[in-house]
Structure formats: structure tokens, C-alpha cells
């Protein structure tokens, strides 16, 4: 892998992880792992958005990797999700199941919505450049 790709992923991961940390700090006392839900749902939407956009507007590889693998990978967290599921289901099986469903189904639906939005934005951008 090229050095620029690794550097881009590393800096993107720093930015994504820092954003996740700040979000968790602001929601620390919610009593429910809402921060993890928001991170994973928002991250799914953003990754879908980028993926759809990049279908039409091809970025340099280091940009794509930095934003997708780096920022989105650093922002979202599967390990915290798994830990939250265990913690919730030990206390309240029902709320643990709801948490899993919202996270998984919501993540997939938001990734799809993001993809469709990104694809539409990319297609419109290409059309605008063709008109000029």
C-alpha cells in the first residue's frame, strides 16, 4: 500500500475517533448507550453517502480511503456496540433486543439512504460539469 494511503487512513482515523470521543462525552450521562447508536447510525449514513457519491465522482484513492476507512472506521465502533449489547441484555433483555434491532436495521437503512443521496448528488454534480 502506498504511504499516502496509510497516512490518509491514520489521520482520518484520528479525526473520526476524536469526533466519537466528543460525542460520547456529550451523551455520557444518558443512562442508555445512545452515543454508540448515534455514532454507528450516522457513520453508516456517511459511509453510504460517500460510497454513492464516489460512484459518480471518482476521488483519488487516498481521499477515498481516508474518509471511508479512516474517518468512518474511526467514528463507528463495533466493539462498543457488542459490549453495550451484553450489558443491556444482562439488565433488560427487551431493551437489549431493541438496541440490536435499531442499530442493525437502522444502520442498513441509513447506509442505503446515504448511498442514494450520495449517488444523486454525484450524478447532479457530473451533469452540472457537463453543462459547463
pLDDT in tens, 29-49: 767 788 999 999 999 999 999
* 132 — pLDDT class (breaks 50, 70, 90): low
Residues in contact with 80: Cβ distance below 8 Å, sequence separation at least 6, in sequence order:
33, 36
Range of the domain at 65: 3-131
pLDDT in tens, 99-113: 999 999 999 999 999
Rg (alpha carbons) of the chain, rounded to whole number:
17
Q: Which residues are annotated as a binding site?
A: 73, 76
Q: Which residues are annotated as a binding site for Na(+)?
A: 73, 76
Domains: count for the chain: 1
* 129 — pLDDT class (breaks 50, 70, 90): confident
Average pLDDT value for residue range 63-73: 98
Amino acid at each position: 500500500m502506498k504511504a499516502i494511503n496509510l497516512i490518509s487512513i491514520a489521520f482520518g482515523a484520528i479525526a473520526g475517533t476524536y469526533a466519537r470521543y466528543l460525542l460520547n462525552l456529550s451523551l455520557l450521562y444518558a443512562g442508555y448507550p445512545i452515543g454508540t447508536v448515534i455514532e454507528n447510525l450516522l457513520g453508516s449514513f456517511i459511509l453510504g453517502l460517500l460510497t454513492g457519491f464516489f460512484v459518480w465522482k471518482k476521488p483519488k484513492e487516498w481521499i477515498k480511503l481516508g474518509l471511508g476507512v479512516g474517518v468512518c472506521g474511526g467514528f463507528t465502533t463495533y466493539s462498543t456496540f457488542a459490549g453495550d449489547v451484553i450489558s443491556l441484555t444482562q439488565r433488560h433483555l427487551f431493551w437489549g433486543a431493541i438496541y440490536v434491532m435499531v442499530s442493525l436495521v437502522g444502520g442498513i437503512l441509513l447506509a442505503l439512504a446515504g448511498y442514494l443521496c450520495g449517488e444523486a448528488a454525484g450524478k447532479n454534480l457530473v451533469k452540472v460539469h457537463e453543462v459547463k
